[in-house]
Amino acid sequence: MSKSVVLCLASILFLNSTLGLYEDQIKKFDWKLTQIGKVNNAFLDLNPYQQNRLIVSTEENVIASLDPLSGNVQWRQILENQPRGQLKLIQMLVDDSAPKTAVRHQSSKSPYDILTVQGHSPAIVRGWNAFTGNLEFEWSLVPLQTETAEDSFWFHGNDMNLYHVIPNFGSHLEVTEYIANNGNSKGTTSKISASWIQKDKCLISGSYYICLEGSHLLALDLTATSPQILKKVVPSSPKTSLKAVRGVSGAVSLDGFIYSFDEKEKLCGDKVSGQSLLKAFQGDESLLVEADLKNNVLEISVKSVESCETWQNVKSTVQYPSHNGVPEVLAFSCRTNRQNTKVCSFVLTTEDEALLYVQGDKIRWAREEALANVVSGEFIDLPLSDSDGSIEDELKSKPGNENDSDLFGAFSRRVVSQIHLVRSIFLHVLGLGPAPTATQKAGLIRDAFGLHKMLVVLTQTGKVYGLDNINGKIHWSNYLRSVENFNNGEEMKLIVQRTSKHFPKQPICTIITKSAETKKGVLFSFNPITGAQIGETNNLNYEIQQIAFLPEDTTEFLKAIVLFDHNNQVHVIPENYKKQADGLYLFTANKKSAILNGFHLKFNEKSGQLQPQPIWTVNLSGHGSTQEITSIAAKNPIEHVHSQGRVLNDRSVLYKYINPNLVAVVTQGLDNIHKFVMNVHLVDVVSGSVVFSLTHRKVRGPIKIVHSENWLAYSYFNDKVRRSEITAIELYEGKVQANSSVWSSLDAPPMPLVERQSYILPFSVEFLKETITERGITNKHVLIATSAGNIMEMPWFYLDPRRPIIQPNQPREEGVLPYIPELPFIQENMINYNQTIARIQSIFTAPSGLESTCLVLATGLDLFVTRVSPSKTFDLLKEDFDYYLIAMVLVALTSASLFVKQLSARKILKQAWK
């Protein structure tokens, strides 16, 4: 075979085999939001001699520098995950030669600008450069007693000294002093006797350790040569918890009063007039900032600590958004403008985890940091335009109305619709038409291909947002106060009860969560397009154990919610849908005991109530009850299976085992031989039968799993060979289907044929998710989120468990690759290319109006939205399609056909006269 033939065959083989992104397509179909998390410490520097910056640390173990003018991230350092990365201390070094609001100059000889301490075993001390975010130094400390080190804390003293304090509750405190930049100890560990310290009633305020003991506040100065117990009398039975006053050493607030133990620290009285306090310096003057929220108006005042009078008439009155909750002042700084007047800025964090920058009487910018903890997301179709809505209403006939179902009724509706359209166009030209709605002004109108949608995301703090999936703009937000996730680590749910496809009925979304105070269920319904609340918040009088949904109602197009409480009672919302829940099957799973229970709902005509009947119980805890459930994966309820079989090399069909009631349950535990043992069970949750089980020994989590159609894929860490692996499972009925039209779990279908195969991954997996399209015609790809912040689009033929080991004279199936244990790391398949997503937690997918395109939302510390086309855009013209050329060709062909038609007619006429 010649070289030219080989080169030609190789070119054909690799033609269109990549999924790369052209340079001009970057950020055209995707966008990213860079987040930092809820801010708990901030340092604002508005120094006229150097670059302005806002240094912050967050609960997500992130330190960052923000631009005070815009709030954009200048640099960001993401520390390790919990517990290793838990921030114990962040300290800014103030240059004594500069104003006290500024960190050190670039010419300073100090070894660091920012000092951070994180973790406990080991504890890591790091110094950072505030201008660039670079690491200056690092040292670690491994305590001898790791059990008590988890409750340890640190504080920064004078002359760059660092103090490490380990409390032994009910006994004593151990204090050790270190040099901050190198970790050298400055002496032996001192033990301070304190039998009255308790874990939940003590805190650190500067160098003082303060505890609430009955009706007294007890404090110790940990830097004193011989610490003495200091006492303050407080009212008995306090209503609030103990809270340290920011910027003050040895001062706490309790029930609206300030208690100070440091005689050097001066405060304006003991009564707290604001909800939030902060002591800060402006030049050489000590100031006290007070913030108070009344009737959605935020009042911020600044007082001089020396005179207790308002400082230079600095006061801000801001209209405060009600959905932000209670604010807290974190930082304060002033500068002199060109008119030689003071301009003061305040940095506040809010109850809903937003970060506000207030200057004067305005909120200059706000960062919605609650988006760093998204727990659920949905893509909602946008409403129709007025013209499309009128056509939709015209084509929709009302059941039971004979005039609407006959030909004359349809014709009359068509004429009326056309008259209304002509009238609206005429009024629009004259400028007398109706004003556009709020959604029309915002451009929230459904497009032809269904690519423009409303992205509704629910965050862990209870705040829900409506984002534009095209550009990431926040159109609306709502905040649910005092809510939390369910037990066993189950997150609050965001469900779609009715989409916007059913014109003119408004769409409905509902949040199902738990009250943080009563621990009972809470339901909040809203319009996902406008964010407007629908009805009142439904505070339930029972705890929620399981959630299910009824099929869509044909008249109201509404999915009713079925709630199963802890007393095994069934509730349906709305209640008039109870009868439709008759015959529904439910199951519950206890993660600790690994026991699954199945129930059948029966509607009682006499009482009008639903009665759950236990029908099966499955115990997956194993021998010795050492196994616990770590993951449960069900199929996507909106997926469609286009092909029911797979064509083999002999042209026979291998039919898929498509059981809609099949759920994958993963259990993990320990044994005396193999240590880590993981079991994967496929359970039919209607009949309770275990369809298939697989055991992996010497493997451990975290387990990431995806379940779709007739296949299952899950990743894990192989502890024996120290690598990440992924296992793929496919289920088949065989070459004959038991029932080609209806599936029933109660008819004892045959056990499936199981194909399984494992592969080696070159990276660790954070999340797995399958692509989904409108009709299921497009190939399925698996989106794999890696720990490096990438999302790889892995085609299923790489994970196919039927990949054969090559043998001579063995026929091969079409489209099946030979088996290779290592999966490739394909750079071109990274759908987020160079836009790294920090700490990816989950991926949400949704179909678009195009069968070839799937919409993707990746959440973590950052948000990333894009679209993927697993089978390429076969139903869409390319971007470089030459419309002018095709138009010219069509015109030429049409003209030529008309001309030839005339010639043909003349020819026929001449032949008729002969």
pLDDT digits (tens, 9 = 90+) for 870-907: 998 888 888 788 889 999 999 999 999 999 999 999 99
Looking at residue 274, what is its pLDDT?
Answer: 67
**CA-to-CA distance for 257 and 234, rounded, in angstroms?**
9
Looking at residue 368, what is its pLDDT?
Answer: 94
- Contact at 8 Å (CB) between 755 and 734? no
Q: Which CA distances in Å does 579 have to 399, 571, 585, 602, 615?
A: 22, 11, 14, 9, 20
Closest listed residue to residue 246, CA positions, set 44, 96, 103: 44
Q: CB neighbours of 208 closer than 8 A, spacing ≥ 6?
A: 219, 220, 221, 222, 249, 250, 261, 262
- Contact at 8 Å (CB) between 29 and 48? no
Chain-centroid distance of CA 652 in Å reads: 44
- Residue ranges per domain, the chain? 266-367, 882-914
Q: Please name every residue paired with 539 in a beta bridge, in sequence order, or none if there are none.
A: 522
Looking at residue 45, what is its pLDDT?
Answer: 83
From first CA to last CA, the distance across the chain in angstroms is 64
Chain-centroid distance of CA 744 in Å reads: 36
Closest listed residue to residue 314, CA positions, set 293, 353, 285, 345: 345
pTM: 0.88
- Contact at 8 Å (CB) between 212 and 203? no
**CA-to-CA distance for 709 and 723, rounded, in angstroms?**
28
Closest listed residue to residue 306, CA positions, set 292, 287, 319, 333: 287
**CA-to-CA distance for 700 and 716, rounded, in angstroms?**
6
Looking at residue 769, what is its pLDDT?
Answer: 96
- Contact at 8 Å (CB) between 516 and 484? yes
Query: Using the 8-state DSSP alphabet, how is residue 818 labeled?
Result: P
The segments of the chain whose pLDDT lies below 50 read: 1, 5-6, 9-18, 96-103, 105-107, 399-400, 402-404
Q: What does 8-50 look like in DSSP terms, one character per residue?
A: HHHHHHTTT------GGGTTTS-EEE-----EEEEEEE--TTS
**CA-to-CA distance for 145 and 720, rounded, in angstroms?**
30
